[in-house]
Structure 1
Amino acid sequence: MVRQFTDPRELRGLAILSQPGTVIQTGKNVWDVRSQSKDAYYTVARFFPEDRKAKILSQATWTCTCPDFLTRHTTCKHQYAVMLSLKLAGDIEEHSTPAQVEESEPNILCPVCKSENVIKWGIRKTTFGENQRFRCHDCGHRFVIDRGFCRMKNSPKTITLTLDLYFKGVSQRKIADLLKQFEDVSVSQPTILEWIKKYLKLLAKYSEKYKADVGNIWHCDETTVFIKKEGEKKYYQWIWNLMDAKTRYLLACQVSETRYVKDARKPLQKAKEVALNVPDAIVTDGLPAYPEAIKAEYYGLGRIQNPHIRLKDFETKPNNNILGRLNGTFRERTKVVRSFDSGIGAEEFATGMQTYYNYIRPHQGIGGLVPAQLANIPINLTGNRWETMIGLAVK
């Protein structure tokens, strides 16, 4: 059972930390913490035993210049504010070891009668290689396994290369030219668009199959995307991104026309469906919609009753720099598209980017792995990750 913070000093320490400019580090182990009752700061200091090289938080001695600590000699709210600040920064920095992926080949079923009584029945040779054929003992039907590319005139390599280049920011015209030069494959721009729409729709459903084992510090931010709208030159919508700091897993990617409280609650609701646990803290910027939205969705669910932390600036931790990098990845694609229309809408784009970011794109901040690997998603994401994902989605 999740333990609630019941000590009033802990809760007051979180309340201090949630306000900007209240915890300022002035030395290696010295902080100034703003008073809640008057316009003043108290000095919090941390000391370690001289005979120990390892500086462990639980073995440190804390002092504070506030009257509460000087009178009672117990941990005060100002010390709790500093401890929580250090914990948030530490949770953002640390990385978990990815769980061992257990691969299991699913039972092959006859597509007609759904029987498992099937045997191998020769090889089918195609332009793109050889496919194993099967025969059902019960109904006699012969078939090959659909791995997502049946009745496609182009090879899986060509199609998945197209998808990867698209999300790396290459325009459809340049993709067609690249395929012609290096693969000797002639593909039109409408064909590329059809491939993108088809497989984005397929992967969007499959990516919601597993829940992510994420950390306890989440970050939320929003960015703009331009939409073609008749009569308006610059019409844009908002994309809300909610990411786990430890695994870099993108928990939610929602689109809205406004930035009110009802809009801010949508990614928070989605994240609750995707994650296995609730956060201790959700770090946001100063958008007025966040405090009420986070309180409505997460108040009292975790160890900290109100997990909202408003960032102080872009340098002090916790900050939203990791979401700034995510927004840069989004802009790699949107600066080429410039605006979305009926071809690929903003919703489809956001869903596709979420799948690409979680399952396809390796992240330097987590050792070159993809976020799904650290989030213990049981998928073997090696080799051609696009082809792996499409094959699993079809099954």
Structure 2
Amino acid sequence: MKQLTNPRELRGLAILSQPETIIQISKNEWDVRSQSKDAYYRVTRTFVKGRDAQHLHDWTCTCPDHTTRNIVCKHIYSVQFSLKLKGDVELEATEKAIERAEPKITCPYCKSENIVSRGKRKNMKGDVQVYGCKNCQRRFTRELGFNRMKHTPEAITLTLDLYFKGLSDRKIVDHLKQFHKVSVVHTTVIRWIKKYLALLGKYAEKNKVNVGNIWHSDETTVFIKKEDEKRYYQWIWNVMDAKTRYLLACQVTEERYVKDAQKALKQAKSVTNVRPDAIVTDGLQAYNTAIKAEFYDPHAFIQNPHIRLKDFETKPNNNILERLNGTFRERTKVVRSFDNSIGAIEFAAGMQTYYNYIRPHQGIGGLTPAEMAGIQIDLTGNRWMTMIGLAIK
């Protein structure tokens, strides 16, 4: 793997990761703390007219490295990096218009879109819309993911919502009976959850999402039932975009090595249209090699986007991912443990869908991360029903 060619860039990132090392004096002046003594150096940016678009500023610093060698020093790099990363974690969401796209109805037999309405028929769930295909002359009803299910889609999606909000399967049974006159046993609730977790897990993040340039990565534990062991840990790796709060990756692994960290980073890279300027992580050593392997670019402004935190107070910090891990624990403390790793994988995929599409996020003005990321799905009304219908298609 190719290493950083300029060690001053790496030292500049190290300066940026320390608290109170860069103080902005004016629009074009900064004081940067020395790493070797108790002093500050003045970094100045000067606008230069008549140059091409990539060289609009001259940078100077009062440190000996710049004044004697006339090169870009680590203090200048640290200011440039801080400007590049400005407005990441604490960025307030702005209102944005979300396009609504209603999925087209197609014939399940010939795939034609030449469809007309043929009235309605009644069943135990109520009125069901019937369609007719003008090409093959067949009639059909839309497959929304609830065909041949005894209970209504509303009862099933309510079960899913209560499950991800932290209720146990027996409490869900009690709620359905008390308030909705739906009598089921707890094994039915478990069967519904497994069925639709598997379905939503197959709804891969195929849409390219519009995200910001600051990502966060962290891992949390989940318990798996294993013979002859009371507590067997596996790891859930989460990668989140700071601007939209979109959960880019949610992967389950048995270990915390480099190959495990790369698994989550590869998934995050596959669903985005940008290369991040920074990936904020804790002190886990596996991230050092994994992020370089996936994102190192010698031609980029920031060649290695990894920012490794030393404490929770330094900005950018990893607090938004710690909050996400808390949301996961709200659910896993009720489950206590999963039957096997497949159950944990299905749970992680379901949580990713829930977090991105279902759960409103107060940090982005009550929108869902999917809305902030510009995914064209009508998420008004029963979001669970919308997502299940899309997964079925």
TM-score of the pair, normalised by structure 2: 0.86
Match for residue 390 of structure 1?
Answer: 388
Query: What SS does structure 1 have at the residue aligned with 2:20?
Result: strand
Over 3 Å counting, the alpha-carbon distance change for 1:244 and 1:356 in structure 2 is same
Q: Structure 2: where are the runs of 5+ without partners?
A: 46-55
Aligned CA distance change for structure 1 residues 385 and 119 (closer, same or farther; 3 Å): same
Give the corresponding residue for 1:15: 11
Match of 1:316? 314
| Aligned residue identity for 1:363 | H
Match of 2:301 among 285, 300, 303: 303
Question: Are 2:364 and 1:366 equivalent residues in the alignment?
Answer: yes
Cross-structure match for 1:249 = 246
Change beyond 3 A, Cα 1:84–1:20: closer
Match of 1:340 in 2: 338
Task: Name the residue aligned to 2:275.
Answer: 278
Distance in 1 (CA, whole Å) between partners of 2:66 and 2:15 is 22
Amino acid at match of 1:251: L
Indicate the residue corresponding to 2:117 in structure 1.
120
The whole-number CA distance in structure 2 between the counterparts of 1:77 and 1:103 is 48
Q: Residue 328 of structure 1 is aligned with which of 326, 329, 333?
A: 326
Measured at CA, do residues 272 and 189 of structure 1 come closer, stay the same or move farther in structure 2, by a change above 3 Å? same
Amino acid across the alignment from 2:33: V
1:239 corresponds, among 236, 239, 253, to: 236
Secondary structure of 2:234 counterpart: strand
- The answer to whether structure 1 residue 150 and structure 2 residue 147 are counterparts is yes
Q: Does 1:195 align with 2:189?
A: no
Q: How do 1:120-139 and structure 2 match up within 5 A?
A: 120-139=117-136
SS at match of 1:90: coil
Distance 1:27 1:295, change over 3 A: closer
Matched, 1:177 2:174: yes
1:189-242, CA deviations, whole angstroms, 9 ceiling, x for partnerless residues? 111111111112222222422121111111111111111111111111111111
The alpha-carbon deviation at position 86 of structure 1 amounts to 5.1
Distance 1:321 1:314 in 2: 7
Q: Which of 367, 377, 380 lines up with 2:378 in the alignment?
A: 380
Deviations 1:273-326 (A, max 9, x none): 111111111111111111111111111075321111111310110110000000
Q: Which residue of 2 aligns with 1:78?
A: 75
* Whole-angstrom CA distance in 2 between matches of 1:133 and 1:196: 28
Q: Where does residue 33 of structure 2 map in the other structure?
A: 33
Specify whether residues 23 and 70 from structure 1 end up closer, same or farther in structure 2 by C-alpha distance, changes over 3 A only: farther
Please give the per-residue CA displacement for 1:1-54, whole angstroms capped at 9, x wherever unaligned: xxxxx995xx7244332478645348674655344xxx3355145789xxxxxx
CA distance in 2, matches of 1:348, 1:24: 43
State the distance in 2 between where 1:139 and 1:13 align.
65
Q: Given that residues 19 and 314 in structure 2 are in contact (C-alpha distance below 8 angstroms), is that contact kept between their aligned partners in structure 1?
A: no
Question: Aligned residue for 1:55?
Answer: none
User: Alpha carbon RMSD of aligned pairs, Å?
Assistant: 2.9
Measure the CA separation in 1 of the matches of 2:341 and 2:184: 17
- Matched residues in 1 for 2:18 and 2:241: separation? 24
Whether the 8 Å CA contact 1:32–1:41 is kept in 2: the answer is no
Q: CA deviation at 1:148?
A: 1.3
SS in 1 for 2:146: coil
| Cα displacement (A) at 1:152 | 1.1
- Answer yes or no: is the 8 Å Cα contact 1:16–1:22 preserved in 2: no
Q: Displacement, 1:375?
A: 1.0
2:250 matched to 1:261?
Answer: no
Instruction: Tell me: CA distance 1:343–1:280, structure 2 relative to 1, closer, same or farther (3 Å).
Output: closer
Give the whole-Å Cα distance in 1 for the aligned partners of 2:95 and 2:65.
41
Question: 2:353 aligned with 1:355, yes or no?
Answer: yes
Cα distance in 1 for residues equivalent to 2:119 and 2:152: 21
Distance 2:336 2:111 in 1: 47
| Kept in 2: contact 1:115–1:136 (CA 8 A) | yes
Distance 1:343 1:314 in 2: 31
TM-score, normalised relative to structure 1: 0.86
Q: Is the 8 A contact 1:197 1:344 kept in 2?
A: no
**Which residue of structure 2 aligns with residue 212 of structure 1?**
209
Q: Secondary structure, in 3 states, of the residue corresponding to 2:390?
A: helix
Q: Name the SS of the counterpart of 1:220 in structure 2.
A: strand
Residue pairs, 1:219-238, within 5 angstroms: 219-238=216-235
Structure 2 equivalent of residue 54 of structure 1: none
**CA offset at residue 87 of structure 1?**
4.0
Which residue is equivalent to 2:51? none
Q: What are the superposed Cα offsets for residues 174-193 of structure 1, whole Å, 9 maximum, x if unpaired?
A: 00000000001011111111
More off after superposition, 175-184 vs 61-70: 61-70
